[in-house]
Structure 1
């Protein structure tokens, strides 16, 4: 896996899925840009992003503020030895 530290904005769920299809085996992380609800900016919904990630056995973790309108959330491949969170177990049903 590469060790890049990418911050990326996706306009729609399909673009996120395409990135995952192209990169899930070679990337070790991505920092996904989400707009704050209060910003009024468009973006993929958190739950939709997590559902797509789970299809490729990727999970979300750390969140950090990016600017006044956006936050970034880290997505990485799930460690095969780890267990899914309860929320992700529900999403996978």
Structure 2
């Protein structure tokens, strides 16, 4: 029996491998408001090439209101993770809430990321008010 979830899951058509977190941030600065997704590639351990790391990419994405999603194998050297703009109704993990606090304190949050985070706060506050 085949797993029906796999057949409907998005498949990367293009994978962008960034050498540094700064390179990914530059892409986000230019494209965060217009792009609908980006598959970011990472070199696997043991490959003699360097790329942005997964934790670095998650931090940069949070700065712009984007979120990581599916991860796929590309080949023997590269795997990829799909990043998309966060939906207004998406849930924020406690880890990401704490990470946004750190990124804000460090002055790294972009206005788009702060807006996405504030939208979360407004939704949470209004739903709490409705239950009180």
Shorter-chain TM-score: which interval? 0.7 to 0.9
RMSD: 1.3
Task: Quote the offset at 1:13 in angstroms.
Answer: 1.0
Task: Quote the offset at 1:14 in angstroms.
Answer: 1.0
Structure 1 residue runs of 5 or longer lacking an equivalent are none
Query: Which structure's residues are more often helix, by fraction?
Result: 2
Instruction: Give the number of the structure whose alpha-carbon radius of gyration is greater.
Output: 2
| RCO higher in structure (CA 8 A, sep ≥6) | 1
- Using structure 1 for the length normalisation, give the TM-score: 0.87
Structure 2 residue runs of 5 or longer lacking an equivalent are 1-12, 102-132
Query: Which structure's residues are more often strand, by fraction?
Result: 1
Give CA-to-partner distance per residue, 1:26-83, whole Å, 9 cap, x none. 0000000011123242111111111111010000000000010110100000001111
Query: Structure 1 stretches (4+) deviating beyond 3 angstroms?
Result: none
